[in-house]
Amino acid sequence: MRVIDLISKAKEYLVAGIVIVAILAIIIAVGYFIVYKKILNGKKQINKNSVIWLIIFGVYLAVVLMATMLDRISTMGFRKNIIPLFYSYKSAWNNFSAIEWRNIILNICMFIPFGLLLPFGIKKAKYWWVTYVCGLIFTVLIESVQLITGRGVFECDDVFNNLLGAMIGYGFYVLIAYIYACNKGNKSGIKKVIFSFAPLFGTIIMFGTIFGIYNSQEFGNLNLNYITKANVKNVSTNEKLSNEKATYPVYMVEGTNKEKSKQFAKEFLENVGDKLDDSLTDLYDETAIYHGEIGNVSVEYIDGTYTYTDFSIYFDDEEEDGTTKTDSQVTEDKLREMLKDYGVYIPAGCTFENKGDGIYSLSADKIIEDEIMYNGTIEATCYQGDKIGDINYNIVKCKKLKDVKCISLRDAYDMIKEGKFNYYSNEELDVKVKNVGVDYFTDTKGYYQPVYVFNVDMNGEETQIDIPALKK
């Protein structure tokens, strides 16, 4: 989700929260002034400061509850309903995604008002441990309700982040109270301020260390790195796996940016007889989607891969039963000709495959042209009349950077035995390794890293396990 979308959503929740609290305030006011004061002749007066605090804190609670409950998809049937501590941090590290880091930071910031506001309205919350405990109870309740209702999972990281936010918020309360006391002539309490800001200082140091380590390392991270260990019962193979450390090249991927991707999309759409409508452009942290009158182009910044969809095909070539007229008779030469007409670059030596239902692919297996390596696949859905409805261009273009030392095949195999690979289930695994090869994946800094690809039989099903080859 983009920042602009987050701001828009926050505004919606804020307005809704104000409306909800306003309705409750009207009901309470009617009860107080009409029922209590006039009918029952009550004498107790309302404290104006308490009313203001209740309104502000009530709006805040309403916004938090809507943000944590309403936007959640149903998770009934998920294999893992309790996500272990620091899972989101490890995922954000592996992907080094601005979106994931932003979500973590927003989860911390969401509870800062809790720690700030609570002591102003509840006297006992002026003690640090009371605010901390209340923050912990509130976030645990939210996570528990999400788990029970199926509107989310119980994320230990959310509890950690929310509690951290409440602790930081309490620090700001202490600072405000200290400034107020100083204005009254009481300048004692600076040690309490420093102590109360320890969570904020710790958070800054934590994120500073994370980003500092990332920026200092030569290559980026791979999202193939495991987060939690798989539950491996048995691993076997008939392959002879070498113990010798291997050496493989690392490549620099030719990525793109917002300006270059826009120019590419403009030229691509013009080449297919369409026109870019810049007012409809969607810019995200890692992707840009450019819309034309009849189709759109989605471009990945990190490696320049893209997808194209021609929406007019789905309306113009629809059969009576609602299906479209795909062309199942396209030859390799015809596909190359059609893609060339669309301005799609095809490296020499690509392998052709008819996947059925009008879907065809051209695959480049580490093809070298003029010191440039091409690796990946072009997939196209063809329709009658020499039309292409969808193009998925996933061929990565890169140039050799240098040779690097990698772990041995035996080391990679041992990682599988230890469960150090991505698998999102707790079920016991019986793994039989059939063969192993080397492929390449783009890391978070735009380098193309070698990866051992193990083709395996896992609990009776054929799949693959990817183990990063670079030596740590």
pLDDT, tens digit (0-9, with 9 covering 90-100), for 374-410: 999 999 999 988 889 999 999 999 999 999 999 999 9
Predicted local confidence at residue 12, as pLDDT: 77
Give mean pLDDT, residues 334-353: 93
Q: Are 123 and 179 in contact (CB under 8 A)?
A: no
Angle made by CA atoms 422, 424, 430, in degrees to the nearest 5? 75
Predicted local confidence at residue 66, as pLDDT: 85
Look up tokens 């008002």; give the residue. 113
Predicted local confidence at residue 138, as pLDDT: 96
Specify the 3-state DSSP secondary structure of 401.
strand
Predicted local confidence at residue 41, as pLDDT: 67
Q: Are 310 and 270 in contact (CB under 8 A)?
A: no
Predicted local confidence at residue 156, as pLDDT: 94
CA separation, residue 203 to residues 66, 115, 128, 148, 304 (Å): 26, 15, 18, 31, 35
Residues 6+ apart with CB under 8 A from 190: 178
Q: Are 376 and 364 in contact (CB under 8 A)?
A: yes
Look up tokens 């107790």; give the residue. 44
Predicted local confidence at residue 20, as pLDDT: 81
User: Mind listing the pLDDT tens digit for each residue in 211-235?
Assistant: 999 999 999 999 999 999 999 999 9
Predicted local confidence at residue 399, as pLDDT: 95
Q: What is the DSSP letter of 419?
A: T
Q: How many CB atoms lie within 10 A of CB 461?
A: 7
Q: 78: pLDDT confidence band, cut at 50, 70 and 90?
A: very low
Strands 82-83 and 154-155 turn out to be parallel
Predicted local confidence at residue 82, as pLDDT: 84
Q: For the chain, what is the total number of helices (H) and then of strands (E)?
A: 13, 16
Q: First and final CA of the chain: distance in angstroms?
A: 32
Q: What span, in angstroms and rounded, lies between the C-alpha atoms of 168 and 39?
A: 46
- Alpha helix stretches (DSSP H) within 242-320: 258-271, 311-316
